[in-house]
Amino acid sequence: MKEHSGSSVLRDARRIVVKVGSSLVTNEGKGLDETAIGEWCRQMAELAKADPSREIIMVSSGAIAEGMKRLGWTTRPHELHELQAAAAVGQMGLAQMYETKLREQGLRSAQVLLTHADLADRERYLNARSTLLTLLQHKVLPVINENDTVVNDEIKFGDNDTLGALVANLVEADALIILTDQKGLFTADPRVDKQATFVHEANAGDPALEVMAGGAGSSIGKGGMITKILAAKRAAGSGASTVIAWGREPDVLLRLAKGESLGTVLVAPTHKQQARKQWMVDQLQLPGAVWVDAGAVSKLSREGKSLLPIGMQSVQGDFSRGDIIAICDAQGQEFARGLANYASAEARLLCRKASADIEKLLGYVAEAEMIHRDNLVLTPPRA
């Protein structure tokens, strides 16, 4: 384990995902904790106002517990349709609470409900990403929850720790903050092992962390510390570091952003941009390619520009929006690759056309670029 060096991870983070657990949001299942939610909203507002370039997304549990309270249920139901009904009722209260508390702080908010299917399907994944990035661009704070009203156990995320990590990957966040009812990670359960010591900092994905957290098959595994360790590992895949901290620590978000040593910091071993580009380079099979002219080759490889439709000469293969495709020069030699904003059939219509003509040709505009520079990586020459 590393020696604790302070949370510069959060001090330097521009885009942050904050995930709050159900036990905190609902005060151990008693219903939405208005005071606690108000505090987190105040802190997020202060962070946003202190640095206008900082962007924050909230992932919040609590819909089912709030729905149970509103329905007068004292025990959690087992039937799926009753859980979904509770979620439907509770989502109204959850969204209303966050909207009220954020508005009091001068922030606009939006409710976003996601399912695993939204993030497994590439086109829906890109649509969700575009929606979230547009909200952030307009200074709206998204409040995300799993859409429990329409999912069953087979397609659930399993826990909102996983959802928090997937959202961090989705928007390429710099950091994921998991607020929980525990101070952080210990080397063992301190309640049974007096020799257990607190883990201030470690590398996300270190196998030793899963052992400390009890392992995937342990009795404390489901919804416990192990899900947070695995979430940090998942978030690190896109370069986001994770902090696990006690949600009721006074000014926890503000103090973390100042670099104060709170909770357990799990550092992503690779930089965000490195992780994303390496993921694209590592793809062994691509469904298609676009061939571009010499001007586009120069702008992409030397100037770091996006690929515009006007620079495209032809389209090869059959691909969908969001697929990784090759970018080839006039001789068919791949020199870059990236995420396609348009499917192959649409891309063929856009070849040699100006971006201003996209809506006239397709009837809609997804993006002005065929491949945005943020989703493009240069590739080494093939042997």
- Where would I find the H helices in the chain? 8-11, 22-25, 34-50, 63-71, 80-104, 116-120, 122-137, 160-170, 207-212, 225-236, 252-257, 272-281, 294-303, 344-350, 358-362
Q: Quickly list DSSP for 333-378.
A: -EEEEEE-SS-HHHHHHHTT--GGGHHHHHSS-S-SSSB-GGGEEE
What CATH architecture applies to the domain 8-272? 3-Layer(aba) Sandwich (3.40)
Give the CATH class of 283-378: mainly beta
Q: For residue 258, give every residue at least 6 positions away whose Cβ sits within 8 Å of its Cβ, in sequence order, or none.
A: 11
CA distance 336 to 326: 6
Strand partners, 18: 58, 177
Angle between helices 225-236 and 160-170 (to 10 degrees): 10
pLDDT digits (tens), the chain, 383 positions = 443 444 577 778 899 999 998 889 988 777 899 999 999 999 999 999 999 999 999 999 888 888 888 999 988 888 888 988 988 999 999 999 999 999 999 999 999 999 877 887 778 888 899 999 999 999 999 999 988 777 666 446 667 888 999 999 999 999 999 999 889 999 887 778 888 899 999 999 898 898 888 754 333 223 588 889 999 999 998 889 999 999 999 999 999 999 888 999 999 987 777 777 878 888 888 999 999 999 999 999 999 999 999 999 999 999 999 999 999 999 999 999 999 999 999 999 999 999 999 999 999 999 999 999 989 999 977 64
Count of beta carbons in the 10 Å neighbourhood of residue 250: 9
Whole-prediction pTM value?
0.82
Domain ranges for the chain: 8-272, 283-378
Residues written for the chain? 383
Asked if 8-272 and 283-378 have one fold, the answer is: no
